[in-house]
């Protein structure tokens, strides 16, 4: 099955990581954040001064089915040494983490051994209920946003484990399909992947063009006709999550390491690194990024700047993009400069005469916020066929019902509308706030209807 392109745009950012994976040197201590994009590990189980082994549960998130924060290495716990973190000191040389407790329920094993953190709801991005029955599973080997972990970097030496992981996922299902998303290209690796999976009748291979965000899970789910409701979610997982499933279900071993991508114009050597949660941010910054660079976690379009208070990699980090901070300088005769070295989606600069080239985009807006000019560029790139500029005007006027009617809830959060906007309007964030408000209103309406039903029954 091939999915055709609708909208989309590839950001020509310099600093694409190479496909090689290298190991980071062992640090003196690990700083494990008690919060990440989705999780809040508020139930701390480790005690100050306690000696722990690799794979022990240090904390859990009670709001997300008890997802564990695992000790990536053996060492000694220090609580209170860094605000918002569990510090692990006196680290022992890494070895084979001991197998976890044998758990008959495979889904519980995925959760307790740290593999379930790689899964998300395709439509919402939230952690799905491991006990629920999905309407389908989307497995993507494609990562198009600059710069996340490349599927080819992970697959190159792990094809057997990847196939076993897919079989493990299939064993959790009854009749639900597994869609394997691959790039629309001919290469030796792509052919090797197809050959290694030949005979897996439960798989449906889906090819997508190499245009961002054709790999977006929400977009893929809708294009595949996978609707969702409270009881039937669509599970989504990328390449490394399948390998995590193989480790947890096939070997009953905790998932303690992950691969992260280091890229961007200010990266010293764009590449992939094998790391653990809690690895010191400053060690990565000093070793991998230019001095004074800003680090963006999990993609330059949809990620967030690494806060100064963050001491270590969180449990979900997939990559860091290094951007140069803007320099306060004025270009001589800048008002007549044609922009030979700067690209624009509108192709109004002289660079439009050049072939596409990777640009060293800095951490700057490159302009100032202005009112919407109704240029329509956001509508051109939107993969969901929305009219972001019209939705923005409705939201600005407080007409959230009209914004809902135009499909604000179908936004895939790819960030392209904000990227191409010449007025620098943060459309993605605006739409996310609107959807949260609509979800809250629906929740209140459901509670009111339930209360009315109970009164009528009495």
- Provide the β-strand partners of residue 196: none
Residue spans of the domains in the chain: they are: 26-257
pLDDT band with cut points at 50, 70 and 90 for residue 15:
very high
Which residues does 141 contact at the CB level (< 8 Å), separation at least 6?
151, 152, 155, 180, 181, 182, 183, 193, 238, 239
pLDDT band with cut points at 50, 70 and 90 for residue 97:
low
- Provide the β-strand partners of residue 136: 234
Radius of gyration of the chain (CA): 23
- Tell me the torsion sign for CA atoms 287, 288, 294, 296: negative
Kindly report the average pLDDT of the chain as a whole number.
88
**Which structure tokens are listed for 206?**
């889906």
| Better pLDDT: 159 or 96 | 159
Does 101 have pLDDT greater than 60? no
The model's pLDDT over 313-340, given as tens digits with 9 standing for 90+, comes to 999 999 999 999 877 655 555 555 567 7
- Provide the β-strand partners of residue 13: 359
The model's pLDDT over 407-419, given as tens digits with 9 standing for 90+, comes to 998 898 999 999 9
* Residue 292: C-alpha distances to residues 28, 197, 266 (Å): 23, 45, 9
**Which structure tokens are listed for 253?**
């071993």
Which residue, chain included where needed, has tokens 């809690």? 278
CA distance 285 to 176: 43
Does 167 have pLDDT greater than 60? yes
Burial degree of 197 (CB within 10 A; 0-12, 13-18, 19+): middle
Q: How far apart are the first and last CA of the chain?
A: 54
Global pTM exceeds 0.85: yes
Label residue 453 left, alpha or beta by phi (over 0 means left) and psi (-120 to 50 means alpha): alpha
Q: Indicate the pairing of strand 203-208 with strand 178-183.
A: parallel
The model's pLDDT over 231-284, given as tens digits with 9 standing for 90+, comes to 778 999 999 999 999 999 999 899 999 999 999 999 999 999 999 999 999 999
Nearest alpha carbon to residue 53 among 96, 21, 86, 17: 96
CB atoms within 10 A of CB 342: 14
């Amino acid at each position: 099955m091939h999915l055709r392109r609708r909208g989309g745009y590839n950001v020509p950012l310099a600093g694409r990581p190479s496909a090689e994976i290298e190991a980071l040197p062992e640090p003196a201590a690990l700083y494990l954040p008690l919060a990440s994009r989705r999780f809040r590990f508020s139930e701390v189980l480790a005690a100050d001064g306690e000696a722990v082994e690799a794979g022990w549960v240090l904390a859990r998130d009670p709001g997300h089915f008890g997802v564990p924060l695992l000790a990536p290495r053996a060492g000694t716990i220090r609580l209170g040494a860094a605000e918002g973190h569990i510090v692990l000191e006196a680290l022992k040389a890494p070895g084979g983490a001991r197998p976890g407790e044998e758990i008959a329920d495979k889904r519980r094993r995925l959760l307790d051994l740290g593999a379930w953190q790689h899964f998300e709801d395709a439509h919402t991005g939230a952690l799905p209920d491991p006990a629920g029955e999905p309407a389908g599973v989307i497995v993507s080997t494609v990562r198009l946003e600059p710069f996340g972990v490349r599927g080819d970097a992970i697959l190159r030496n792990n094809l057997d484990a990847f196939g076993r992981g897919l079989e493990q996922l299939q064993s959790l299902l009854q009749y639900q399909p597994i869609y394997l998303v691959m790039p629309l290209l001919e290469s030796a690796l792509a052919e090797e992947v197809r050959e290694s999976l030949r005979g897996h009748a439960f798989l449906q291979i889906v090819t997508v063009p190499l245009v961002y965000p054709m790999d977006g899970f929400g977009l893929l789910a809708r294009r595949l006709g996978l609707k969702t409701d409270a009881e039937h979610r669509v599970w989504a997982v990328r390449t490394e999550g399948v390998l995590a499933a193989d480790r947890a279900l096939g070997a009953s071993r905790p998932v303690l390491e992950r691969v992260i991508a280091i890229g961007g114009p200010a990266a010293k050597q764009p590449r992939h690194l094998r790391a653990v949660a809690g690895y010191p941010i400053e060690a990565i910054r000093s070793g991998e990024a230019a001095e004074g660079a800003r680090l963006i976690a999990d993609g330059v379009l949809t990620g967030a700047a690494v806060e100064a208070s963050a001491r270590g990699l969180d449990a979900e980090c997939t990559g860091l993009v290094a951007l140069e901070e803007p320099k306060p300088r004025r270009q001589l005769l800048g008002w007549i400069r044609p922009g030979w070295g700067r690209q624009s989606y509108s192709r109004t600069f002289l660079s439009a005469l050049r072939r596409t080239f990777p640009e060293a985009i800095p951490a700057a807006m490159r302009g100032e916020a202005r009112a919407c000019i109704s240029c329509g560029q956001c509508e051109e790139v939107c993969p969901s066929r929305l009219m972001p500029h019209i939705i923005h005007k409705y939201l600005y006027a407080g007409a959230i019902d009209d914004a809902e009617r135009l499909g604000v809830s179908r936004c895939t959060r790819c960030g392209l509308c904000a990227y191409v906007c010449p007025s620098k309007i943060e459309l993605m964030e605006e739409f996310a706030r609107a959807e949260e408000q609509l979800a809250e209103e629906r929740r209140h309406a459901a509670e009111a209807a339930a209360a009315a039903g109970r009164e009528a029954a009495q």
